Amino acid sequence: MLSTGFDKREGKIWMDGQLVNWQDSKVHILNHGLHYATSVFEGIRVYNGVPFKLKEHIDRLMHSAVTLGFVLKYSVEDLINATHAVIETNRISNGYIRPIAWLGSESMIIDGAGCAVHFAVAGWQSFEDARSAMREVGARLIVSKWRKPSMDAALHSTKASAIYSMSYMVKNEAKKLGYDDGLMLDGESNITEASTSNFFAIYGEVLRTPVPGCFLNGITRQTIIDIAKQKGIDVEEVDFKVEDLRTADAAFLTGTAIEVMPVQCVSGMRFDINHSMIKLLSEEYRIRASSR
């Protein structure tokens, strides 16, 4: 069932330097970004009116844009100001911000030469949290049949829309099988990440997470590693495989949207979703995210 579309909402969206009415923020069907995924985006959570890790997200947006060869029309500061304007004008206390940059309609040739680079920042109140139900029972994961492209596919450190067709496939593969998400392996069968989140496993007192190579080194992942180290937890960034999960006590996913999400099972292996380390890390994360 389709819910009321995002295009039908009310409010303002910052588009190429101006706040425009929500329903007027339109692009043409012959748009380079739409056809060839020449676009990059971010996802930011707002807690108590404050966007968490805003500078880090905008820096990553710029890194993604530069990786695609986009000419930057705005500075980091401009986009930070645009984000604050969107939060203020839409009165967002707890919500979600979606900045995006894309190539326009000036050319449909693949090199995009002559295409304008557009920037927009949208944001909305009450980030729908279908995830709170999942948090109670933990995410049920499969191992996806889709493998990560190798390290030399330069887009892994970006949020380029182009790589999200894979996340889309992985998520839908899992859903069709009755699961919540899929873990992707690399070419050597090492665990990488889930469709839109990073992966951690707990072994006794040790927190283990894959070495970022052919997957996004998430801002939440980095925050969790930082919190864990501050709490004196041993953090191992190593390559490991699905069979190594047999001896894990617990596992969880991290991401801006899902925060810290306990994992109930991976391919039938079950884990402790109430593990004390998960509780400690998720509580500390919430405290950091919500403090002004």
Applying CB under 6 A, among 43, 49, 149, 213 the residue interacting with ligand PMP is 43
CB of 200 to ligand PMP, least distance (A): 12
Strand-pairing partners, residue 170, are none
Total residues binding ligand PMP (CB under 6 A)? 14
Q: Is 255 in the site for ligand PMP (CB under 6 A)?
A: yes
Task: Confirm or reject binding of residue 39 to ligand PMP (CB under 6 A).
Answer: no
Q: Which of 19, 41, 47, 15 is nearest to 125 (CA)?
A: 47
Residue 43: burial class (beta carbons within 10 Å; 0-12, 13-18, 19+): middle
**221 touching ligand PMP, by CB under 6 A:** yes
Least spacing, CB of residue 165 vs ligand PMP, in Å: 12
The minimum distance between CB 26 and ligand PMP, in angstroms, equals 25
How far apart (Å, rounded) are the C-alpha atoms in residues 218 and 265?
22
- Using CB under 6 A, pick the residue from 219, 248, 263, 277 that binds ligand PMP: 219
Q: Answer yes or no: are the C-beta atoms of 161 and 41 closer than 8 Å.
A: yes
Is 218 near ligand PMP (CB under 6 A)?
Answer: yes
Q: Which two tokens stand for residue 105?
A: 């309609």
Q: H or E stretch including 135?
A: helix 131-137
The string of DSSP codes covering 137-155 is H-EEEEE-SPPPPPTTSGG
The catalytically annotated residue of 159, 229, 231, 279 is: 159
**Per CB under 6 A, 197 contacts ligand PMP:** yes
Instruction: For residue 106, count CB atoms less than 10 angstroms from its CB and return exposed for 0-12, middle for 13-18, buried for 19 or more.
Output: middle
The answer to the question of residue 193 lying near ligand PMP (CB under 6 A) is yes
Point out the residue whose Cβ comes nearest to ligand PMP: 218
Return the residues of window 63-102 that contact ligand PMP according to CB under 6 A: none
User: Whose Cβ is closer to ligand PMP: residue 144's or residue 254's?
Assistant: 254
Among residues 103 and 184, whose Cβ is nearest to ligand PMP? Answer: 184
Candidate residues 64, 167, 209, 282; the one interacting with ligand PMP per rule CB under 6 A: 167
Please confirm, yes or no, whether 159 is among the known catalytic residues: yes
Is residue 162 within 8 A of residue 37, CB to CB? The reply is: yes
Task: Let me know if 87 is exposed, middle or buried by CB neighbors in 10 A (0-12, 13-18, 19+).
Answer: buried
The contact set with ligand PMP (CB under 6 A) reads 43, 167, 193, 196-198, 216, 218-221, 254-256
Catalytic residues: 159
